[in-house]
Amino acid sequence: MTQITTVPTAPITGQKPGTSGLRKKTPVFMGRHYLENFIQATFDVVGCAGKTFVLGGDGRYFNDRAAQVILRMAAANGAARVIVGQGAILSTPAASHLIRLNGTDGGIIMSASHNPGGPEEDFGVKFNMPNGGPAPESVTEAIYQRTTVITEYKVLEAQDVDLARIGRHQLGAMVVDVVDPVADYATLMESLFDFPALRAMFADGFRMRMDSMCAVTGPYAVEILEKRLGAAKGTCVNATPLPDFGGMHPDPNPTWAKALMDEMFSDTAPDFGAASDGDGDRNMVVGRGIYVSPSDSLAVLAANAHLAPGYAKGLKGVARSMPTSAAADRVADALGIGKYETPTGWKFFGNLLDAGRATICGEESFGTGSDHVREKDGLWAILLWLNILAVRKQSVADILADHWAKFGRNYYSRHDFEAIESAKADAMMAALRGSLAGLPGQVVEGMTITAADDFAYTDPVDASVSMKQGVRVMFGDGSRIVYRLSGTGTEGATLRVYLERYAAGPDGLDLDAQEALAPVIRAAHVLAGIAAHTGRTAPDVVT
Which residues form the catalytic set?
A: 113
Strand partners, 8: 152
> Does residue 279 bind Co ion (CB under 5 A)?
yes
Tell me which H or E stretch contains 304: helix 294-304
> Does residue 367 bind ligand VG1 (CB under 6 A)?
yes
> Does residue 105 bind Co ion (CB under 5 A)?
no
3-state SS of the chain: helix, strand, coil percent to 5? 35, 25, 40
> Does residue 346 bind ligand VG1 (CB under 6 A)?
yes
Residue among 295 and 359 whose Cβ is closer to ligand VG1: 295
Residue among 106 and 252 whose Cβ is closer to Co ion: 252
Could you tell me the smallest distance in angstroms from the CB atom of residue 26 to ligand VG1?
16
Q: Which residue is nearest to Co ion (CB)?
A: 113
> Does residue 304 bind Co ion (CB under 5 A)?
no
> Does residue 60 bind ligand VG1 (CB under 6 A)?
no
DSSP type of residue 159: P
From 281, 329, 363, 416, residue interacting with Co ion (rule: CB under 5 A)? 281
Residue among 85 and 323 whose Cβ is closer to ligand VG1: 323
Residue among 18 and 440 whose Cβ is closer to Co ion: 18
| 3-class state of residue 28 by DSSP | helix
* Site pattern 519..538 for ligand VG1 (x: CB under 6 A): --------------------
From 118, 338, 478, 487, residue interacting with ligand VG1 (rule: CB under 6 A)? 487
> Does residue 97 bind ligand VG1 (CB under 6 A)?
no
From 57, 345, 362, 369, residue interacting with ligand VG1 (rule: CB under 6 A)? 345
Q: What angle do CA 500, 506, 509 make, to 5 degrees?
A: 40
Q: Give the length of the chain.
A: 543
Kindly state the number of chain residues that form the binding site for ligand VG1, as judged by CB under 6 A. 18
Could you tell me the smallest distance in angstroms from the CB atom of residue 201 to Co ion?
28
> Does residue 296 bind ligand VG1 (CB under 6 A)?
no
> Does residue 466 bind ligand VG1 (CB under 6 A)?
no
From 263, 277, 296, 459, residue interacting with Co ion (rule: CB under 5 A)? 277
CA 328/CA 319 separation, integer angstroms = 8
> Does residue 295 bind ligand VG1 (CB under 6 A)?
no
Report yes or no: 279 and 216 within 8 Å, Cβ to Cβ.
Answer: yes
Sequence-distant (≥ 6) Cβ neighbours of residue 322 within 8 angstroms? 341, 342, 343, 344, 455, 457, 469, 470, 472, 482
Q: Which stretch binds Co ion (CB under 5 A): 280-288, 325-333, 512-520, 534-542?
A: 280-288
> Does residue 496 bind ligand VG1 (CB under 6 A)?
yes
CA 245/CA 214 separation, integer angstroms = 5
Could you tell me the smallest distance in angstroms from the CB atom of residue 19 to ligand VG1?
3
CA 375/CA 355 separation, integer angstroms = 15
Give the type of residue at 465: V
- Select from 140, 179, 17, 5 the least CA-distant residue to 77: 5
Report yes or no: 407 and 334 within 8 Å, Cβ to Cβ.
Answer: yes
From 105, 121, 194, 363, residue interacting with ligand VG1 (rule: CB under 6 A)? 363
Residue among 253 and 410 whose Cβ is closer to Co ion: 253
Q: Which stretch binds ligand VG1 (CB under 6 A): 5-13, 363-371, 516-524, 525-533?
A: 363-371
C-alpha distances in angstroms, 46 versus 52, 449, 477, 535?
12, 45, 47, 44
- Select from 326, 284, 277 the least CA-distant residue to 543: 284
From 486, 490, 534, 543, residue interacting with ligand VG1 (rule: CB under 6 A)? 486
Residue among 281 and 296 whose Cβ is closer to Co ion: 281
Q: Which stretch binds ligand VG1 (CB under 6 A): 71-79, 162-170, 362-370, 499-507?
A: 362-370
Residue among 20 and 96 whose Cβ is closer to ligand VG1: 20
Q: Which stretch binds Co ion (CB under 5 A): 159-167, 187-195, 256-264, 273-281?
A: 273-281
Tell me which H or E stretch contains 4: strand 3-8
- Select from 276, 298, 271 the least CA-distant residue to 286: 271
Give the type of residue at 69: V
Residue among 42 and 235 whose Cβ is closer to ligand VG1: 42
Sequence-distant (≥ 6) Cβ neighbours of residue 262 within 8 angstroms? none
63-76 and 34-46 are packed helices; what angle lies between their axes, rounded to 10 degrees? 40
Could you tell me the smallest distance in angstroms from the CB atom of residue 398 to ligand VG1?
29
For 425, phi then psi, to 5°, come to -65, -40
> Does residue 543 bind ligand VG1 (CB under 6 A)?
no
- Select from 360, 411, 409 the least CA-distant residue to 385: 360
Count of C-beta atoms within a 10 Å radius of residue 118: 16
> Does residue 488 bind ligand VG1 (CB under 6 A)?
yes
> Does residue 217 bind Co ion (CB under 5 A)?
no
CA dihedral 516, 518, 524, 530 (to 10 degrees): 140
Could you tell me the smallest distance in angstroms from the CB atom of residue 277 to Co ion?
4
- Select from 144, 108, 105 the least CA-distant residue to 126: 108
User: Where are the alpha helices (H) located in 207-270, listed in sequence order?
Assistant: 217-221, 258-264
Residue among 344 and 466 whose Cβ is closer to ligand VG1: 344
Residue among 154 and 496 whose Cβ is closer to ligand VG1: 496
Q: Which of residues 256-285 bind ligand VG1 (CB under 6 A)?
A: 277, 281-282
**Interface residue list for ligand VG1 (CB under 6 A):** 19-20, 113-114, 277, 281-282, 321, 344-346, 363, 365, 367, 486-488, 496
Binding residues vs Co ion (CB under 5 A): 113, 277, 279, 281-282
